Structure 1
Amino acid sequence: MKRIGVLTSGGDAPGMNAAVRAVVRKAIYHDIEVYGIYQGYSGLINGNIKKLELGSVGDIIHRGGTTLYSARCLEFKTKEGQQKGIEQLKKHGIDGLVVIGGDGSYRGAKALTEQGFPCVGVPGTIDNDIPGTEFTIGFDTALNTVIDAIDKIRDTATSHERTFIIEVMGRHAGDIALWAGLAGGAETIVIPEDNFDMDEVANRLKKGHERGKKHSIIVVAEGVMSGPEFAEKLEKATNFETRVSVLGHIQRGGSPTAFDRVLASRLGAHAVELLLEGKGGRAVGIEKNRLVDYDIIEALAMPHRVDLDMYRLSKELSI
C-alpha cells in the first residue's frame, strides 16, 4: 500500500473534516501518500484528485461540512461509471480508498469492493442509520443542534400556550427524533420504527390540558410524515391550535462537538490501519466504545435498529 485516496459523499455531516484529517495524518505518519478526491464519486469519475499534505488538513478539525465537498452522482450507480472511477484510481496509482459517508456512499464502496478494489467505509451521516456502529459521525452535533432548538421553541410554546410540532431529519430512521425528544422533554415523539396512533397522541394532549398543562412539544421524524401534515391531522383530532417548525438543514451544519471530533479521528485512523493490513471491503464502527469493523457487504445487509427501550422510557417520562 503506497497511496490511498479519501472522499466524502452524500449529505455532509459535522466531523467529516476531522475524519479526513485523521486519514491524511495517520497515512502520512506511516509514509503513505494520500490523495483527496473532491466532489465525491462525481469527482472520482472526472479525475478531480489532488495530493494532500500535512498542511492540507490543518485547521479543519473544528469546521463543519467537508473541505473535500460532496455531490450526488447517478452515473456512479452504473457499471460504466464505476469502471471510470477505477480507471482514475489506477491512473493516480491509488491502492486503496477510504469513503466517508452514509448509506449511498457505502453502496458505492461496496460496488468498488465487488470489482476487486479495496475500500473502507467510514460512517458519516447525521441520521445515525448505518449498521455496524452505535454512532455515526455528525449525529451528536445534529442532536445538540436540535435540542438547542427545542429549548428555544419551548420558551415560545410556554408564552403562547400552544402545541408545537417540530420536524427533524433522519431519513428513514428515528434516532434524531428519539434522542432529541427525550433530552428535550418532548411530550410526544413520533418515529418510523414504531406505529403511532393519532388518537393516542390526541388523548395524551387532552389529558395534559385537563390537568392544567397549556403547552406541548411534539417531535416528528421526517420518515413518518412532514410536520405540516402531522399538524393538520392533529388539529382535526383535538381542535387545538398548533404551530410547526421544520428545522431543516441547520441540523447538518455547525462546528462538530468534541464527541464527533474524537469519534471521527478514531474511525478515520482505524480505516487507514485496515488498509495497511491489506484489508479492503470493510466498514468501521464503534460499539461499547471499542473500534470494530465488518465486511461492508454484510454490514449493508444488517437492519438498522432504534433503541425501543429508550422509546418506551420517553413515553413513561412524558405522562
Structure 2
Amino acid sequence: MKRIGILTSGGDAPGMNACIRAAVRAALANNLTVVGIRRGYTGLIATDTVPLDRAAIRNIIHQGGTILETSRSPDLYTREGRLRVAEAIGKMGLDGVILIGGDGTFHGASLVAADTDTAPLVGVPGSIDNDVYGTDYCIGFDTAANCAVEAIDRIRDTARSHERLFFLEVMGRTAGFLALESGIAGGAEELIIPEEETSIAPMSERIRKGFDIGKKSAIVVVAEAKTPGVSFQIAGEVKKHLDLDSRVVILGHLQRGGPPTLRDRVLGSSLGVAAVEALLEGRSECMVGEVGGALAYTPLEETWKKKKPLNENLRRIFSILSD
C-alpha cells in the first residue's frame, strides 16, 4: 500500500471535509501518497485528480460541502462504465480507494468490485439522510438535524404569534431519521414519515383537540419522501378536516450546507482515520461506521441491500411526548 485515492460521491454532507482531512493526515503518517479524485465517479473515470498533501487540507475542517466536489454518475450502472472505473484506478496507480458517500455510492462500488479485479475499496458513510445500513449515524446528519431544529424553533415563534398550524418539510428521501429526531428535539405535535402510514382525519382531530385545550400553535414535521413538496398536498387534505390557518415551509437544500457540528467533525475525523487503517489492514469492499459507539465494518453490498430501521425507542418517545 503506497498510493491511495479519495473521492466524495452523491449528495454533499457537512463533515465530508473533516473526513478528507483526517484520511489524508492518517495516510501521510503512514508514508502513503494521497490523490484526491474530483467530482466523484465522473472524475474517477476521467482521471480528474489533485494531489492531497498537508497544504491542500489546511483550514477545511470547518467547511461544509466537499473540496473534492461531487456528482451522481449513471455510468456505475452499466458494465462498460464499471470497467472504465477499474481501468482508471489502474491507470492512476492506486493501491486503494476511499469512497465517502451514501448508499448509491456504495452500490456502485460493490458492482465495480463484483465485475472487476480492482484495487481495495473502503467506504465512509456521508449522508444527511442517515439511511445507510451499518452505522448508527452518517457524516452530515447531525448538522442537518440541528438546522431543522433551529428552523422549528424559529417557526414556532411565528406560529404562536398567529395561532397557526405549520407544516415543516425536511429532507430524507425514503427515510424518516431527520424528521423523527428533529421532531423530538423541536417538540413537534405530529410527524409524517415514510415508515408509517398516516391517516389525515385522525391527525387533524388530534391537532384540533390541541387547540381546544389552549395550544396557540402546532407544527407537523414531514419527511419529503419521494416527492419533495408533498407538504402542500398534505396541508390541503388537512384543510378539509380542520378549519385552521396553515402554512408550509420546505427546508430543502438549506439542510446540506453550512459548517459541520462538533459531532460531524468528530465522526468524520474518526471514520477518515479508520478508513485508512482499514486499507492498511488489508480490508476491502467494506464500509467503516459506528454502531453502539464502536467501530464497525459492513460489506458494501449490505449497505444498500439492507434497509436501516428507525430507532423504535425514539418512535415510542415521540408518540409519548407529542400527546
Answer yes or no: is 1:6 the counterpart of 2:6. yes
- Aligned partner of 1:134: which letter? D
Aligned length: 319
Whether the 8 Å CA contact 1:191–1:224 is kept in 2: the answer is no
Cα deviations across residues 58-116 of structure 1 (Å, max 9, x unaligned)? 11010000000011211232111121121111111101110000111111211222223
Which of residues 190, 193, 199 is equivalent to 1:191?
Answer: 193
Greater mean deviation of Cα atoms: 137-146 or 225-234: 225-234
Partner SS state of residue 54, structure 1? coil
**Deviation for aligned residue 1:302:** 2.0
Whether the 8 Å CA contact 1:22–1:266 is kept in 2: the answer is yes
Which of residues 260, 267, 285 is equivalent to 1:263?
Answer: 267
Partner SS state of residue 248, structure 2? strand
Distance 1:246 1:16 in 2: 24
Aligned-residue RMSD, C-alpha: 1.1
**Deviation for aligned residue 1:20:** 0.7
Structure 1 segments (4+ residues) deviating >4 Å: none
Give structure 1 stretches of 5+ with no counterpart: none
Distance 1:300 1:277 in 2: 24
**Deviation for aligned residue 1:224:** 7.0
Partner SS state of residue 5, structure 1? strand
Distance 1:233 1:263 in 2: 41
Which of residues 173, 176, 198 is equivalent to 1:174?
Answer: 176
Partner SS state of residue 55, structure 2? helix
Give structure 2 stretches of 5+ with no counterpart: none
| Residue matched to 2:34 | 34
**CA distance 1:84–1:224, shift in 2 (3 Å):** closer
TM-score, normalising length: structure 1: 0.97
Distance 1:299 1:155 in 2: 40
**Deviation for aligned residue 1:288:** 1.4
| Residue matched to 1:241 | 245
Partner SS state of residue 167, structure 2? strand
Partner SS state of residue 99, structure 2? strand
Distance 2:98 2:111 in 1: 14
Distance 1:209 1:299 in 2: 43
Distance 1:202 1:143 in 2: 26
Answer yes or no: is 1:214 the counterpart of 2:224. no
Alignment of 1:102-121 (within 5 A): 102-114=102-114, 115-117=116-118, 118-121=120-123
**CA distance 1:264–1:8, shift in 2 (3 Å):** same
Which of residues 122, 125, 128 is equivalent to 2:127?
Answer: 125
- Aligned partner of 1:149: which letter? A
Distance 2:76 2:54 in 1: 30
Identity %: 47
Alignment of 1:140-155 (within 5 A): 140-155=142-157
